Amino acid sequence: MNMPNKLSTLRILLVPIIIYLLLLNTLVSSIAALAVFILAALTDKYDGYYARKYDLITTLGKILDPLADKMLIIGVFTAFVEIGVLSTWPLLIIVARELAVTGLRVVAADQGSVIPANIWGKTKTTIQMITAIALIINPKIFNLPFILTEGLVWLTVLITIYSGYTYFAGAKVDYS
């Protein structure tokens, strides 16, 4: 297994640790969750960097990287719902978008086409990670203004919806 795939695998392995720490819902566990989440987010940055720089793009990596991203974000946002930091609606929208785009990619693959990540998908992942960090920080570590955290949540939702739209709008698939 090459380095980018090892980084994606590490991200997957960090997900249950982050969720466990978030569910403990203490100051110490929140600080630890923040540190582990940042480590996981960095693996997302560097797995792609190394894969492109050293031409280590593999079929396994094309599956592992987005799977790791989905597991991280959906897992963390689910923990936020469980501890009462986030309402269910943003989580449902995020999950619905991920399932829809994954389904679209399966249909495209069945028709011999690949739908690569686009700038809106990358922006979506980045804003989701920033929002997750803000929600981990608030209020246990640092009390952020409500308007900031709530604004980030709904900005995340809007970008999530729009990024999904861009995939469907640009897809060259036969839906019949």
pTM: 0.93
CATH number of 3-170: 1.20.120.1760
d(CA 176, CA 169): 16
At residue 144 the predicted structure's pLDDT band, cuts being 50, 70 and 90, is confident
Neighbouring C-beta atoms of residue 18, cutoff 10 Å? 24
- At 31, list the tokens: 């600080």
How far, CA to CA in Å, does 50 sit from each of 23, 55, 124?
A: 33, 8, 21
Residue 139 has pLDDT above 90, yes or no: no
At residue 116 the predicted structure's pLDDT band, cuts being 50, 70 and 90, is confident
Please write the tens of the pLDDT for every residue from 13-46.
999 999 999 999 999 999 999 999 999 999 999 9
- Give residues with Cβ within 8 angstroms of 87, minimum separation 6: 81
Number of residues that this document lists for the chain: 176
Domain spans in the chain, listed from the N-terminal domain onward = 3-170
- At 6, list the tokens: 């090892």
| Closest of 58, 78, 74 to residue 128, by C-alpha | 74
Write the DSSP string, 14-57: HHHHHHHHHHH-SHHHHHHHHHHHHHHHHHHHHHHHHHHHTT--
